[in-house]
Amino acid sequence: MRLSGARVALVGLIVAACLGIPALVAAQESGAAPYKAPNEGKEMYVAYCGSCHGAQGRGDGPAATALKVPPADLTVLMKNNGGTFPEAKFRQIMANGTVAAHGNADMPIWGQIFKKMDKDPAVTAVRIENLMKYVQVLNYPIK
């Protein structure tokens, strides 16, 4: 059977996607995340979080299926915390990572990555606050 050009292209695309997603995850885990301004909540979210947690935060990003532990749905953080966004917990997770009950967590420890981006801890704190503000907005669906 002869493969049509379109089929070959499709197979190539699938192979590229399979190879590309773990590479993307590895790059983020190794701290090779692109530099984004600490006051740009949305840009940071898209560059650092969306690949796993999805554009709207629902845990359905393109890299999600490559992970052992599924990325959390970030749109329900407020609802699951009695209607108040869990700010202290969010800051704690950003600084120190999540506590996975079983095995190793696929969630990168962002605090370590952000510390490498900006030497000043005050800038890292601003970065985390602005990221949190953006994630908070994802908890209020705009219809």
Residues forming the site for ligand HEC (CB under 6 A): 25, 28, 48-49, 51-53, 63, 67, 69, 71-72, 74, 90, 93, 98, 100, 105-108, 110, 131, 135
**Between 105 and 126, CB nearer to ligand HEC:** 105
User: What minimum distance in Å lies between the beta carbon of 69 and ligand HEC?
Assistant: 4
Q: Least separation, in Å, of the C-beta of 65 and ligand HEC?
A: 11
Q: Which is nearer to ligand HEC, 102 or 119 (CB)?
A: 102
CA dist 67 and 142 (Å) reads 29
Shortest Cβ distance from residue 113 to ligand HEC (Å)? Answer: 8
- Report the alpha-carbon distance of residue 138 to residue 54 in Å, rounded: 11
Q: Give the C-alpha separation, 113 to 22, whole Å.
A: 18
Q: Which is nearer to ligand HEC, 4 or 140 (CB)?
A: 140
**What is the rounded distance in angstroms from the CA atom of residue 61 to the CA atom of residue 2?**
35
| Min dist. Cβ of residue 56 to ligand HEC (A) | 13
CA neighbours within 13 Å on the CB side: how many for 68? 8
Residue among 1 and 96 whose Cβ is closer to ligand HEC: 96
| Distance (Å, whole) CA 32 – CA 57 | 22
Tell which residue, 35, 52, 57, 34, has the closest CA to residue 134. Answer: 57
